[in-house]
Chains A and B, each alone.
Chain A
């Protein structure tokens, strides 16, 4: 017996997936909350202020590093687990067993890959200009001044990016992937960390499905709002 390989055993690897997953779920709440400021209908002032806060204070910046580490671990571990699990059945079935589980619970790697592809695009659209703008020819965000403080106009950047209907479509599709990924991932993460009590489990399932619908819906509404000019 040893607790040394606590995070490297099959159960341990799943714990890593669950903990990073829950961390990412928390991030999504913060992210969605901040972005919801675009609907303040103040030409993005509140949103830009919030983005500025996230970009210029130590705590969010440190958490950002953690976020990247978390995403990286989640992706890496996810792929490794998928490959490992696939290797356990060298000869497959002629007829697959599809009735006992939801398709999206069996397709987490596929959904995750779609999300990864989206993530690359998303980082390129917003994160690199706001954090690395001006370095090595990377496009900078426009800047405005309010009460003597300089703010990046991320809001304007969103307006710009979401003028392209293809981008809007890709974002909406990605939100669909996110929804299904969360529909399984949310409750799965809590099972993996050991919530087995019937009452809590029912609660978590309900919250999980709600979360999987509401958060991606909120995100999807952002490009749509810009594209269809639902906000000014």
Chain B
């Protein structure tokens, strides 16, 4: 177990709110332990800024265990930083070395307007779910859970898609700011289950329409989203979404 400490330079995007222009500002942090998480390193910087009368850096975070999807940050040219299959909150300072300069930017997409500094508004994702990312079953309507056997492969594939944490890294990574990986994860999750069958066509058509309305770009299958996804949601889901869309488009009334 090593306990190295390091001194770092941080280039951080600062922006007071959505209506004013932002710019990079450079900070130095010293004696950062390699056991710290990346956000704890930012906590150290913020503590310093607060006691010296400066404004701390605003960034979204909550569970700090890689599941809530609230943390973001585009670190040195990659959403959630250099580690694979990882969220920013689980990134630890072991990933860096003494003397490094780290560039920290917010998710960039017109569909994710900046709230302040590194915090963005991902409400578009909620609205996409509102457009059909559910199964219409009122509480109390359900039949016995085991009355509907589900092929294990399908159940597993549905789960793999449902693991999406809605963080928006796919949008941040995509050169087109496309939300297709997010959307396809939900469409696949529900299309793979028999419960999702009745609304299968309207769901995909409506959700795609909402995604377009929110101002996301289209998918050009570069695979950047999949590579940046902390939950390793497969791009195969996008192909499945395309199939669902084509099918629905051709057969819907």
Could you tell me which A residues sit within 8 Å of B by CB distance?
A: 1-3, 5-6, 9-15, 81, 84-102, 105-106, 108, 184, 187-188, 190-196, 198, 201
Contacts and interface: CB of A to CB of B under 8 A. Distances in A.
Main secondary structure of the interface of A (DSSP, over half): loop
A95 B103 contact: yes
B218 interface: yes
Contacts of A12: 245, 249
24 contacts: A1-B205, A6-B249, A9-B209, A9-B212, A10-B219, A11-B219, A11-B245, A14-B242, A81-B220, A85-B217, A85-B220, A88-B177, A88-B215, A89-B177, A94-B24, A98-B77, A100-B224, A100-B228, A184-B222, A191-B238, A191-B239, A192-B242, A194-B245, A196-B237
Given A89-B109, A195-B239, A188 B220 contact: yes
B56 to A, nearest CB: 21
Contact of A85 (B177, B226, B235, B252): B177
B211 interface: yes
B129 to A, nearest CB: 16
Interface in B195-231: 201-202, 205-206, 208-209, 211-212, 215-228
Interface residues of B, number: 58
Nearest to B221: A188
Contacts of A191: 221, 235, 238-239, 242
Interface of B: 11, 24, 74, 76-79, 103, 105, 108-111, 172-173, 175-178, 201-202, 205-206, 208-209, 211-212, 215-228, 235-250, 252
A29 to B, nearest CB: 22
B108 A92 contact: yes
Contact of B110 (A14, A81, A90): A90
A78 to B, nearest CB: 10
B240 A196 contact: yes
Nearest to A14: B218
State the 3 A-B residue pairs at the shortest beta-carbon distance, nearest first.
Answer: A194-B243, A100-B227, A95-B77
A89 B252 contact: no
A11 B77 contact: no
A137 B230 CA distance: 63
Contacts of B212: 9-10
Contact of A105 (B177, B202, B220, B252): B220
A10 B220 contact: no
A99 B108 CA distance: 17
B113 to A, nearest CB: 10
Contacts of B223: 100-102, 105
Contact of A11 (B176, B201, B208): B208
Nearest to B82: A99
A46 to B, nearest CB: 39
B230 to A, nearest CB: 13
A85 B176 contact: yes
A198 B228 contact: no
A102 B42 CA distance: 32
A81 B218 contact: yes
Nearest to B78: A97
A119 B179 CA distance: 34
Contacts of B236: 196, 198, 201
Nearest to B252: A3
Q: Which of B109, B177, B218, B240 has the most CB of A within 10 A?
A: B218
A14 B217 CA distance: 11
A10 B238 CA distance: 13
A89 B223 CA distance: 18
Given A9-B212, A92-B108, A101-B222, A84 B239 contact: no
Contact of A88 (B216, B220, B249): B216
